[in-house]
Amino acid sequence: MTSNIAKPSISDGIDPATVPARMLYNGSKMPAIGLGTFGSDHVSNETVAQAVRHAISIGYRHIDCASVYGNEQEIGTVLKELIHSGQIDRQELWITSKLWNDKHAEEDVLQSLEHSLKDLQLNYIDLYLVHWPFPNFHAKGCDVASRSPNAKPYIHENFMKTWRQMERAVELGLAKNIGTSNMTQAKLELLLADCSIKPAVNEMELHPHFQQPDLYDYLVSKGIQPVGFCPIGSPARPERDKTEVDTVDTEDPVLREIATSHGIHPATLCVKWAAQRGQIPIPFSTNPRNMRANLQSLTTAPLSEVEMDALSKIDKNCRLIKGQVFLWKDDQSWEDLWDLDGEIAQ
């Protein structure tokens, strides 16, 4: 499939030196915004790969990938071309990938990382994440009611076996940093007590209507950088991931008024707010104008204290990615995945 994304001219770009970075606890500098690459079943692999090409050409330096997105090969072709042609140095890029849930077994972790590296045509990854704390397989695109017959709850002893291999990836130089995704405070407390290498980041759902203040503050207190997925509230997520109670961030009147006063789209304000709050947003886009606006929003005058305060108050505790497919018993609700009472459900 051919892409309809135009080749940008240099004048379209934003100087990456003007885009902030976050210092991780180990001294690594991670660009404060990344491009998401999950096409949510409706964007082809090639279109996402061409979006990555465009993003890098206009100044993005951080790309959030995952083996389960099924497009690392196409993205790898683009990365190789850009690096080999001298358009970008490998060291300037921050590439994240993630270990999928059916690869938690000790013997699978490094193999899975090597597979991602081969697809991405890289010899190291900047950040490797355990995508979910549950080892439960479900097919891509399956319905939320679908359950794996071998599904298990979080078993810390097993997770530590996975994590030891993540640490091994750092020792072998295959991953510069390792981290978690979709973890809760209760699970992180166990991990922090037992790990040799602390997670550098936790990737989690974060947008104005789902700010997760307690987990956010906990991460910051432990020196773990929050990375925010679905920063715009994932408006194009598949129908199966939508429920009647979900709210729409970009329709929030407070957010819309502030966006209007800054002359930016409400979606761009979500990204700007996220970066200013301190998390690293990873908005997905294949639209050159939107990609540029999101990146540029980190380089313009900050929101005022009053605006940040108003945005902190529009939180609706509205989790969009509920994770139902990871449940392991019939009589459970998705809340059981998120340790709401501080206890890990078994």
Ligand X SMILES: NC(=O)c1ccc[n+]([C@@H]2O[C@H](COP(=O)([O-])OP(=O)(O)OC[C@H]3O[C@@H](n4cnc5c(N)ncnc54)[C@H](OP(=O)(O)O)[C@@H]3O)[C@@H](O)[C@H]2O)c1
Q: Which residues are catalytic?
A: 69
Place of tokens 């690459």: 37
Question: Packing angle between helix 156-171 and helix 106-120, nearest 10 degrees?
Answer: 40
Q: Which of 59, 135, 153, 283: binder of ligand X (CB under 6 A)?
A: 283
Q: Does 286 bind ligand X (CB under 6 A)?
A: yes
Q: Does 290 bind ligand X (CB under 6 A)?
A: yes
Closest distance of CB 265 from ligand X, Å = 4
Q: Which of 8, 16, 70, 235: binder of ligand X (CB under 6 A)?
A: 235
Binding mask 49-78 for ligand X (x = CB under 6 A): ---------------x--------------
Binding mask 297-326 for ligand X (x = CB under 6 A): ------------------------x-----
Closest distance of CB 260 from ligand X, Å = 14
Q: Which of 97, 101, 268, 279: binder of ligand X (CB under 6 A)?
A: 268
Q: Does 136 bind ligand X (CB under 6 A)?
A: no
Place of tokens 């692999």: 45
Please, is 157 exposed, middle or buried when counting C-beta atoms within 10 Å of its C-beta (0-12, 13-18, 19+)? exposed
Q: Does 237 bind ligand X (CB under 6 A)?
A: yes
Alpha-carbon torsion angle 41, 44, 50, 54, nearest 10: -40
Return d(Cα 199, Cα 179) in angstroms, integer: 4
Q: Does 30 bind ligand X (CB under 6 A)?
A: no
Return d(Cα 227, Cα 216) in angstroms, integer: 10
Looking at beta carbons only, is 172 or 248 nearer to ligand X?
248
Contact status, residue 285 vs residue 294, Cβ threshold 8 Å: yes
Return d(Cα 25, Cα 167) in angstroms, integer: 16
Looking at beta carbons only, is 50 or 181 nearer to ligand X?
181
Looking at beta carbons only, is 38 or 273 nearer to ligand X?
38
The number of residues that bind ligand X (CB under 6 A) is 30
User: By beta-carbon distance, which residue lies closest to ligand X?
Assistant: 36
Query: DSSP class of residue 275?
Result: H
CA atoms within 13 A on the CB side of 98: 26
Closest distance of CB 226 from ligand X, Å = 12
Considering only 5-13, 21-29, 167-175, 232-240, which stretch makes contact with ligand X by CB under 6 A? Answer: 232-240
| Count of helices and strands (H, E) across the chain | 10, 10
Q: Does 284 bind ligand X (CB under 6 A)?
A: yes
Return d(Cα 130, Cα 136) in angstroms, integer: 13
Q: In which element (H, E) is residue 257 found?
A: helix 253-262
Pairing of strands 201-205, 225-229: parallel
| Residues forming the site for ligand X (CB under 6 A) | 36-38, 64, 131, 181-182, 203, 229-237, 265, 267-268, 282-287, 290, 293-294, 321
